[in-house]
Amino acid sequence: MNTQTHHHEKDKQDLNKFGYAQELLRSMGGFSNFAISFSIISILTGAVSLYGHGLTYGGAGMMGFGWPLVALFVMIVAASMAELASAIPTAGALYHWASILKNKRWGWYTAWINLIGQIGIVAGIDYSVALFADPLLSDVFGYSSTNTTILICFAVILLSHGILNHVGIRSVSRLNDFSAWYHIVIVIVLVVSLAFFSKGSLNSVDYLFKVGETFSDKPYMFAFLIGLLQAQWTFTGFDASAHTIEETVNPRVRAPWGIFTSVAYSFVFGFIMLAIVTLSIQDAGAATGADNAFIYVISEALGGDFGRVILWLVTAAMWFCGLSSITSFSRMMYAFSRDKGMPFSKQWAQISKKFRTPAKAIWLSVVLSFLLALIDYIIKRNNPDTTYTTIAFLTAVSVVGLYVAYGIPILLKLIAKSQGKFQAKHLGPWHLGKYSDIIGILGLLWIVFISVIMVIPPNEMAGYALGGMIIVLIIMDFAYYKNHFPGPQAALGTSMAEILRREKELESNPSGGSGISHNG
């Protein structure tokens, strides 16, 4: 038996222990697992699309201080999550961890909060692509870019991601691998271009750490905290390495590395990119006053045509980011539906026999993300005087939703450990040893801190939206799911014969048919 076959069999047995059949195609290697998180973090999406936000509130110092500060604490959170991924390697990840560490209701709330964050992140990413692509397309085709054309562009981008994700994990996995290299190459191209064309006019390094200058009407310290959204939103989505864990070979080692190293490498390359872009700013006031500060800075530094080429390359990187985010979102929804946690769960848990992908969950991800942006579009159309930006709204929703969902299992693991339920023998190969608790506590403190920061004015609309969604969840819970959600624990009762039957059914019919669903 070769090493690969041995890993496949061991990974399948590990999954079977939790009562689940190996339904998804397990073909992702370590780099692919890293690549999907690195692509969703996408320094060329978050850091770029919210560059104006960071610069407006925190000035140049936001890039010098804000980025590494946020990165440090996000790495602390990521390390705690990586440890859990190694211990409990199932696609449900966050919600599955919460269910097993405490009970099914904690898991149910974690899943929904994570889903809300995932809707926000997919919508935020693809809306960012549209915000960059639409003005560039309007230059080419000679039309005026408006909120309506941006929304149409957004819908087309979502559609392209839905189709590719439906067609198969192999092609998406290859594109994710390509995306990781693409991000690195584009950052290098951007850095070299700016260094070459701006070498005579670059600011001194001191400028990168300039504090006290804000282009908002808020006091500097307060403005600086609001500006942290730029870095904090960029560092989201690394749970994708855990959501694709049932498609990864040797996941107890590779998924945790994917989670942690995707954050670490994003910090390094993101800092290099932000540093050179910020050092090439000639007039920060004019940049923050422009429609898009990043486009303004690049156009000023590199000139019209070359600047546009760079912006197209950056937009393509954002597109890759959106592709990966739908993969992650749909896997989470598939796992949650497999445990009957959503309305019409049976539908969303279906696997396409032809492509071995959760096809219906993929399309639901697309529809929900579009609806979130559509609602915001309608609100703005009826209230043209609203002051918040769509991108800040979407990103704040995703940051709070995702980080609260990241924090719940970390908290529950600390509690389970203090009660003696979770012991050293339960840890996977990737763990933090005696530093596990202190790293977990620091991560939780950061999550509480940023969850508050992200919903204070001017982002209070995100707070209202999240509050409203939590109320709906509580109603759903008490009205139905409190008594009817079986949770992942129910799967433990699945017989090995039933698990093998499901696996055989998929293997014996690799093409044709619309899908396989979960019974009973």
Among 117, 256, 341, 463, binds other proteins (CB under 8 A): 256
Our finding on whether 23 is near other proteins (CB under 8 A) is no
Whole-angstrom Cα distance, residue 72 to residue 446?
A: 10
Our finding on whether 379 is near other proteins (CB under 8 A) is no
Find the shortest distance in angstroms from Cβ 100 to other proteins. Answer: 4
Whole-angstrom Cα distance, residue 455 to residue 304?
A: 37
Whole-angstrom Cα distance, residue 91 to residue 102?
A: 18
Whole-angstrom Cα distance, residue 107 to residue 110?
A: 5
Q: Which is nearer to other proteins, 257 or 312 (CB)?
A: 257
Site track for other proteins across 196-215, x = CB under 8 A: ---------xx-xxxx----
Q: Which residues, 107 to 166, sit near other proteins by CB under 8 A? A: none
Q: Which is nearer to other proteins, 268 or 309 (CB)?
A: 268
Whole-angstrom Cα distance, residue 486 to residue 483?
A: 8
- For 452, the token pair is 């508050």
Of the ranges 137-145, 360-368, 424-432, 445-453, which one interacts with other proteins (CB under 8 A)?
424-432
Whole-angstrom Cα distance, residue 488 to residue 95?
A: 9
- For 356, the token pair is 């071995």
Contact between 211 and 220 under an 8 Å Cβ cutoff? The reply is: yes
Q: Which residues, 58 to 77, sit near other proteins by CB under 8 A? A: 61, 64-65, 68-69, 71-72, 75-76
Contact between 106 and 412 under an 8 Å Cβ cutoff? The reply is: yes
Q: Is 248 helix (H, G, I), strand (E, B) or coil?
A: strand
Element (DSSP H or E) covering residue 72: helix 67-87
Our finding on whether 308 is near other proteins (CB under 8 A) is no
Binding-site size, other proteins (CB under 8 A):
48
Our finding on whether 260 is near other proteins (CB under 8 A) is yes
The set of residues, in sequence order, having a beta carbon less than 8 Å from that of 201 and lying 6+ positions away, is 280, 282
Among 37, 45, 99, 288, binds other proteins (CB under 8 A): 99
Q: Which is nearer to other proteins, 68 or 513 (CB)?
A: 68
Contact between 322 and 132 under an 8 Å Cβ cutoff? The reply is: no
Placement of tokens 């974690």 in the chain: 110
Among 384, 425, 484, 497, binds other proteins (CB under 8 A): 425
Whole-angstrom Cα distance, residue 48 to residue 293?
A: 9
Q: Which is nearer to other proteins, 324 or 436 (CB)?
A: 436
Our finding on whether 339 is near other proteins (CB under 8 A) is no
Nearest to 275 by CA among 331, 191, 155: 191
Find the shortest distance in angstroms from Cβ 265 to other proteins. Answer: 9
List 351's β-bridge partners, or say none.
Answer: 516
Find the shortest distance in angstroms from Cβ 17 to other proteins. Answer: 5
Find the shortest distance in angstroms from Cβ 68 to other proteins. Answer: 5
Q: Which is nearer to other proteins, 100 or 131 (CB)?
A: 100
**What is the residue type of 217?**
D
Q: Which is nearer to other proteins, 206 or 217 (CB)?
A: 206
Of the ranges 127-135, 267-275, 324-332, 336-344, which one interacts with other proteins (CB under 8 A)?
267-275
Our finding on whether 100 is near other proteins (CB under 8 A) is yes
| Cβ contacts of 422-426, under 8 Å, gap ≥ 24 | 422/101, 426/87
Residues that bind other proteins (CB under 8 A): 14, 17-18, 61, 64-65, 68-69, 71-72, 75-76, 79, 82, 87-88, 99-101, 205-206, 208-211, 253, 256-257, 260-261, 264, 267-268, 271, 421-422, 425-433, 435, 489, 492
